[in-house]
A and B are shown apart, each in its own frame.
Chain A
Amino acid sequence: MSSALIAADLAYWAQSLLRVLGGLVAVLLPAGTVVYLFLFKMMSFMQSRLGPMEAGPYGSMQLFAEVGKWLQKEDIVPANAQPEARIFKMAPLIVLASTFLLVVVVPFGPDAWFTDFEVGIFYALAVSSVSVLGILIAGWSSANKYSLLGGLRAAGQLIAYELPMVLAVVGVVIQAGTMNLQQIVVAQNAGSMFGWNGVGNPYILTQFVAFIIFMISVQAELTQTPFDMPIAESELVSGYMTEYSGFRFLIFFIGEFATAGVFAMIASVLFLGGWGVPFAWFGWTDMDSIDNWMNVVGPLILFTKMIVLVFFIMWVRFSFPRFREDQLQRFAWKILIPVSLVNIMVTAVLKVAF
């Protein structure tokens, strides 16, 4: 993670290099952890099997084996997609790009951030929908009917669930009084509940409804079961990913799980206090008084919180059947959006009252 301290001393190219490396780590590490820990192992244990056991101790190198396998595969472009092969090949990169764009606003420690953006959460929600573009392009340019149906379903679903997600975040923004993710972290950890500051004021307590709505929307944005209609493997084969093979499929795959990690990080920043511990524990009062070691411990804390949240995402994924897409839209428009609007209203009224 490149920090402001480093940024002060290094040349521009060195800073950029550090940021790029940090970005790669921040995207790939969660993706790898999530895939191994949850997709390989937890899923297996839930299904009374062992999962990968051969590659490395306890199957821990399985992911590298898989990546190696994918890299060796032929990069196939279907005959009907040939005229637009460039667009076909570009689509997975757009999906992954949205993940990288997303991670830049996540704060990892008091000074460990890629960019300290005043409208951070606004930006995050905006760039998260770039992936819809990639998915639509993939679905359309594959020249496959299943892909087309998958792409269109994905577009409809992702746009529908963008809305409750934004509305859920509005509650947090009202309470924190800022859209800067770093400030939201500070507001939670420096805050107090009725004068007691033992655990700060994590917004999961006051914004519990928003938290639930946010996590449901995340589930839908990630197209994980029960919202996996776009890639429903039993009916659309693999939706918009059907025609992709080798490395391009791998990029979709990384994109999916890296986004899961990054969204979980954003959720823990918004609702669980992000990288911070309650400031009262160490006698800190504001940003400037935080000890420097938090720059090292902070990312670990954030990572732990992310793992916990992804656990819930994956738990739901492995145990639920999927919605039909009309039920899914009805759920978004008739339940989630009204509830989040009520949540905003109540939050605003209470904010003014107290």
Chain B
Amino acid sequence: MTMLGDRQQLAYIAAQAADARVNVELETEGMTLNIGPQHPATHGTLRIIARLDGEQVVWAEPSAGYMHRGYEKLTEVRTYPQVTALVNRIDWLGSFANEVPFILAAEKLMGVEAPARAQHIRTILFELSRIANVSLFLGDLGVQLGAVTPVFFAFRDREYVLNLIEAATGGRFHPNFDRIGGLKDDLPAGFIDETRMVMKKLRTFCDQIEDLLFGNEIFQSRTRGIGVIPKDVALQYGLSGANLRASGVDWDLRRDQELPMAWNKADWKVWTHPDGDSFARCWVRLQEVRESTKIVDQLLDTIPSGPVMAKVPKIIKVPEGEAWVSTENPLGEMGYYVVSQGDQGPFRVKIRSASFNNISIVPWLLKGVYVPDIITILASLYFILGDIDR
């Protein structure tokens, strides 16, 4: 007999049990459906192995790793400034947000703090990447549930945000703009007015999506009561971000922790929802986009003047030590545990990405649902494959 890992063995036993149940009770054959690695619903190469009884899922297990790019290992042979180019690609829809916690961790080790202006602009770009990320979720949600129109609205309005990010950083998708001690550049001329206009457009977009999708009865009947995650289960599985807030846990790292960022300078609200179902998760994200536009608007008014770069040596060497910094990224809590031995590059970086933990609940959540609900649940959990596989 081949040696199986504990986890695989458990999965094997569960599959056997599932077979037995299907065969004994209904005298029908079960079917194993591989959703992915290439499948329209998995936006990447996630594979979900589902054992079906008719259209009902008896047992399901996500199988990640088809797009593993080895970023944690790669960081060991890169210098600190080079690492930001790598971590950009983890959650590719909200790239700038990936850079921030890493840079903050490195700054923490070096004892450097970015100037106030840089902190402000960082926060603005962070929120812009959140909007770019989550607004695409709102459109994609429609496609997953069969409505083709919202996704085009999402792409249209997201383009404005990407243009802003491009104007400020030079890159639409992968800005690589954050530096230890501040930012690469100051904002371009006209950025502030342009951003205000775009935020207005984004709020209109949110209203449109709310009318078109959230108010639709079919949408509600497809998402309400589907994939309910109770509060305690959500905490046990280590969910974070909107998935956790939708289960009624009032938890937002932007508010709850002290970081050299500008979130506490704006007035905004953390939305939660008591239901914990798919609808709640989608709704919380919609509100999040609205709050983000509010944060950006307020921060634009109060950008302090001054330099965008603190005094740091040309060749960055981070002193020996260990640091953990996590932020509330578009997908949830994203953190970096940086171990330094005083070299130009980190000795080891452990990346805690939100999606990996968020989809760990999938086997628990998919038990007993119908095949169409798999898609609803996956869409509402909202993962980015790069964020799972790293």
Q: Which residues of A contact B (CB under 8 A)?
A: 43, 46-49, 145-146, 149, 225-226, 228-229, 232-237, 318-327
Contact = CB atoms under 8 A, between A and B. Distances in A.
Interface stretch (B96-104, B137-145, B238-246, B332-340): B137-145
A236 B371 CA distance: 9
Interface string B144-166: 11111100110010000000000
A325 B148 CA distance: 19
B41 A234 contact: yes
Nearest to B223: A321
A234 B147 contact: no
B143 A235 contact: no
A225 B149 contact: no
B145 A322 contact: yes
A38 B142 CA distance: 20
B218 A318 contact: no
B153 A324 contact: no
Contacts of B148: 43, 47, 225, 318
Main secondary structure of the interface of A (DSSP, over half): loop
A228 B146 contact: yes
A237 B40 contact: yes
Q: Which are the 9 A-B pairs with shortest beta-carbon distances?
A: A322-B146, A47-B152, A321-B145, A321-B147, A235-B375, A321-B146, A324-B372, A234-B144, A234-B41
Given A149-B55, A234-B40, A320-B147, 13 more contacts: A47-B149, A48-B156, A146-B33, A233-B40, A236-B371, A237-B39, A320-B216, A321-B142, A321-B147, A321-B218, A321-B219, A321-B222, A326-B370
Contact of B147 (A146, A225, A229, A237): A225
A156 B213 CA distance: 27
B31 interface: yes
Interface residues of B, number: 31
A325 B219 contact: no
B373 to A, nearest CB: 7
A319 B152 contact: no
Contacts of A325: 55, 370, 372
14 contacts: A46-B149, A48-B153, A48-B156, A146-B33, A225-B146, A226-B146, A234-B40, A237-B40, A319-B147, A320-B146, A321-B218, A323-B221, A323-B222, A324-B373
B374 interface: yes
Interface string B215-246: 01011011000000000000000000000000
A320 B372 contact: no
B135 to A, nearest CB: 15
Contacts of B372: 229, 232, 235, 324-325
B212 interface: yes
Contacts of A47: 148-149, 152-153
Contacts, number: 80
A259 B268 CA distance: 53
Contact of A321 (B31, B213, B371): B213
A207 to B, nearest CB: 25
Contacts of A48: 152-153, 156
Interface string B364-378: 000000111111000
Interface in B300-354: none
Interface string B39-57: 1110000000000000100
A131 B36 CA distance: 30
B44 to A, nearest CB: 14
A274 B26 CA distance: 50
A146 B40 CA distance: 12
B382 to A, nearest CB: 14
Contacts of A226: 146, 218
A325 B373 CA distance: 11
Contacts of B31: 145
A201 B35 CA distance: 53
A48 B208 CA distance: 13
A320 B153 contact: no
A233 to B, nearest CB: 6
A319 B55 contact: no
A228 B148 CA distance: 12
A236 B148 CA distance: 16
- Tell which of B143, B148, B375 has the most Cβ of chain A within 10 Å: B148
